[in-house]
């Protein structure tokens, strides 16, 4: 546990960022639904009020004023306070300065900070709370101007895996599909366990944090996407930078793409989910082809299904959506081969 003879009551969000989020134990004392909607990425949620209690207190605040609302809040939480404080104190044992925040840096974080001080546990309140964090994220996207090396290619060409491998080798990347918990196609939510909890604000926080971890690089590899990925929309200036960046077309043989799709979507596990997603696009494919595709699925002929849907739906669809000009076109048989070719292009670009 960190002990200090000087208690610093508040910290600004900019200072928190500059000193690196990972160096702090950050506690979000907002309700679970507030936290789920979006949060400081490295924070831990230890709510002072649950969602129902917050609703009750909010109604009293609106109708009867802040004093009665605070009294009601204390009545609701008094039996849980020892557990709440114990959970926070356990986080403070990580040899990191303890940061507390709520929605606006007001009553909830102040209550916790006061109680911790009575126990001689030093803590710092985030000035402006989550609102100051969100304002900073919005400003980041308003000023976004990174140069993008944008990867385009047909479904199954492994673009997301290529980005992950480039990142492992020390190259700067932004994985928008990973941040959206969605693979980008009509089947993109399948197998993505975090998809149900993704919100627009959380999506933006994840993009920001991935670039923050890389110290805001000047040039990044990124996948070419439509403006919407699943439930979320790419921020305007990020999309503009993608569209105006270095454009690279990636392609691998059809059989390799089919093999990759089978590994990625796991139809032997998610067949029912794939059938459900297919029902949403069959009207664009035509009745005869749709019946044939469903027959292949139901007979567990997954490779044939994947090859046919690529030929009849995804390849024609994406060919019409690609930009008219590419700066580079690469063909490859393996992800490793694609990564090596992209590394060569990157080294030429930065000279």
What is the pLDDT at residue 222?
97
Same domain for 58 and 167, yes or no, is no
- DSSP, collapsed to helix, strand or coil, labels residue 11 as strand
Domain containing residue 52: 10-138
- DSSP, collapsed to helix, strand or coil, labels residue 174 as strand
Digit-coded pLDDT (tens) for 231-242? 999 999 999 999
Q: What is the CATH number of the domain that holds 259?
A: 3.40.50
Are 98 and 91 within 8 A, CB to CB?
yes
Digit-coded pLDDT (tens) for 308-321? 999 988 998 888 78
Domain stop point among 112, 138, 164: 138
- Token look-up 């994947």 returns 306
Domain stop point among 138, 162, 185: 138
Average pLDDT over residues 309-336: 91
Domain stop point among 138, 161, 179: 138
Digit-coded pLDDT (tens) for 258-299? 999 999 999 999 999 999 988 888 888 888 888 999 999 999
Judge whether 267 lies within some domain.
Answer: yes
Taking the whole predicted model, whether its pTM rises above 0.85 is answered as yes
Judge whether 235 lies within some domain.
Answer: yes
Digit-coded pLDDT (tens) for 23-76? 999 999 999 999 999 999 999 999 999 999 999 999 999 999 989 999 999 999
What is the pLDDT at residue 110?
92
Q: Which long-range contacts (CB under 8 A, 24 or more apart) does 338-347 make?
A: 338/158, 338/162, 338/250, 338/252, 339/162, 339/165, 339/166, 339/169, 342/149, 342/151, 342/162, 342/166, 342/221, 342/248, 343/166, 343/169, 343/171, 345/149, 345/248, 346/149, 346/171, 346/219, 346/221
Q: What is the CATH number of the domain that holds 34?
A: 3.40.250.10
Looking at the structure of the chain, the number of domains it has is 2
Same domain for 66 and 196, yes or no, is no
Is the pLDDT at 338 greater than 90, yes or no? yes
Same domain for 197 and 163, yes or no, is yes
Q: How long, in residues, is the chain? A: 351
What is the pLDDT at residue 308?
93
What is the pLDDT at residue 6?
47
């Amino acid at each position: 546990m960190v002990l200090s003879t000087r208690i610093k009551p508040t910290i600004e969000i900019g200072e928190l960022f500059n000193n690196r989020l990972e160096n702090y134990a950050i506690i979000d004392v907002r309700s679970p639904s507030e936290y789920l909607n979006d949060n400081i990425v490295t924070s831990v949620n230890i709510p002072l009020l649950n969602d129902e209690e917050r609703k009750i207190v909010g109604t009293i605040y609106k109708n009867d004023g802040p004093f009665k609302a605070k009294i009601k809040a204390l009545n609701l939480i008094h039996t849980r306070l020892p557990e709440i404080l114990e959970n926070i104190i356990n986080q403070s044992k990580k040899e990191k300065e303890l940061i507390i925040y709520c929605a606006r840096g007001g009553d909830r974080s102040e209550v916790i900070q006061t109680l911790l001080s009575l126990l001689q546990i030093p803590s710092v309140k985030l000035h402006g709370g989550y609102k100051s964090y969100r304002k900073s994220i919005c400003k980041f996207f308003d000023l976004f101007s990174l140069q993008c090396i944008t990867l385009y290619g047909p479904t199954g060409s492994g673009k997301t895996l290529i980005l992950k491998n480039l990142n492992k080798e020390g190259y700067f990347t932004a994985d928008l599909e990973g941040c959206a918990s969605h693979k980008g196609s009509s089947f993109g939510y399948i197998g993505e366990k975090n998809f149900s909890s993704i919100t627009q604000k959380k999506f933006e926080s994840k993009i920001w944090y991935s670039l923050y971890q890389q110290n805001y690089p000047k040039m990044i590899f990124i996948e070419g996407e439509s403006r919407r990925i699943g439930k979320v929309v790419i921020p305007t200036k990020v999309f503009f930078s993608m569209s105006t960046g270095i454009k690279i077309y990636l392609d691998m043989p059809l059989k390799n793409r089919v093999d990759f799709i089978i590994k990625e979507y796991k139809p032997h596990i998610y067949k029912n989910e794939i059938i459900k997603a297919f029902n949403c696009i069959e009207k664009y494919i035509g009745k005869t082809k749709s019946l044939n595709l469903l027959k292949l699925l139901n007979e567990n002929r997954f490779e044939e299904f994947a090859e046919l849907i690529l030929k009849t739906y995804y390849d024609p669809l994406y060919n019409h959506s690609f930009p008219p000009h590419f700066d580079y076109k690469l063909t490859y048989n393996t992800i490793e081969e694609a990564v090596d070719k992209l590394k060569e292009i990157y080294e030429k670009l930065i000279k």
